[in-house]
Structure 1
Amino acid sequence: MESEQEEQGVNSPSLEETVGAAIREQRQKHGLTIAQVAEQADISRGMLSKIENGQTSAGMDTLARIARALGVSMSMLFSKYDATTTSAQHIKHGAGMEVVRRGTKSGHTYQLLAYDQGPVKHFEPFLITIEDDSERYPSFEHPGTEFIYMLEGRIEYRVGQETYVLEPGDALNFQGEVPHGPERLLACPIRFLSVIVYPQVAG
């Protein structure tokens, strides 16, 4: 049984392992050392080493800095993950990559449920879980349109000057450039889907 599980693990590397291998491949391709890339990306050498070896999850901000240091797009780091001939991407329950975003803290988690594999980022779907109300959330602003669908709990969500009480089954969509974010957590735990659709440049 153990050998079968080990074999499956080898045949199906995790997202962290795939991204780490892509970073190492690009770094070596450009003849760069871990120290050089870590300095350019403003992270520690130890952290970069752990990321390359698939030993830790890196936030999207960190991956963006590493990609810039390597001179590649972020999509290249994800391009070999779950790539199939059908172009479908299957993320098993609980297998979404836990990422760090502004406002993330103990009790608040973001799971990225799909990873763009093309040259342009079209969308980002997150499963957001809030276990407690220990700290106040900051407001967010970003390009594109955001769609929220409530799964569990109750939350008062602010968009611009308006606030909305969201309960399971409720949906909310708005322009990402408008400042937005949780105003009050009314009943925890809270879970909701947040899908950000980014604007596409014609041509």
Structure 2
Amino acid sequence: MSVRVVIVDDHPVVRSGLHALLAAQPALEIVGQAGSGAEALDVVARTAPDVVLCDLRLGEGMDGVEVTRTLRNRSGAPAVVILTTYDHDGDIVRAVEAGAAGYLLKDATADEIAVAARAAARGEDVLGPALTERVVGAMRTRRAELSPREREILGLLAEGLSNRQIARRAFLSEATVKTHLAHVYAKLDVDGRTAAVARARSAGLLP
């Protein structure tokens, strides 16, 4: 029995390319395509697919995470696999928290996408070990519970400001800034400014 698939991507060429690649795969049937989040919800309602392959960025309106969350809250929800060019821990965590069964990059082969779609249709998660480890790490970081002041200091740090400049901007003493930074480093489990900013960005704590 074929797995029924809907492809969601805001680029027509990408949709056509995925359709051509996946239509040639055994046990897959492409039953619909959509170019936006709103269109995706409509197409899914009409075609009742087993799996939705959804891009993360869909232009204006709903993004792939919002589409995932909305679909997964419906009765008889299809599995959703995010297929994107964005390899950011924060995006992966958002997708998983919204209910996505998996997260693949667009450089995946047709065979890899087909395997993921069939696995998702069986109710399996299709995050590889490496991505699973990254998701767990990012979620742990997001739960670090930085205080509002620590988030403010972290944001100023991300702007490349020195401790003295941060102190002036935040109306604090340099000693207090250093104390806040020590707490931030400990909560993020890092040992310096650059690592703190990188960890915070990947976990979605910074824009």
Structure-2-length-normalised TM-score: 0.28
User: Over alpha carbons, which structure has the higher Rg?
Assistant: 2
Structure-1-length-normalised TM-score: 0.28
**If each structure's strand is expressed as a fraction of its own residues, which one has the higher value?**
1
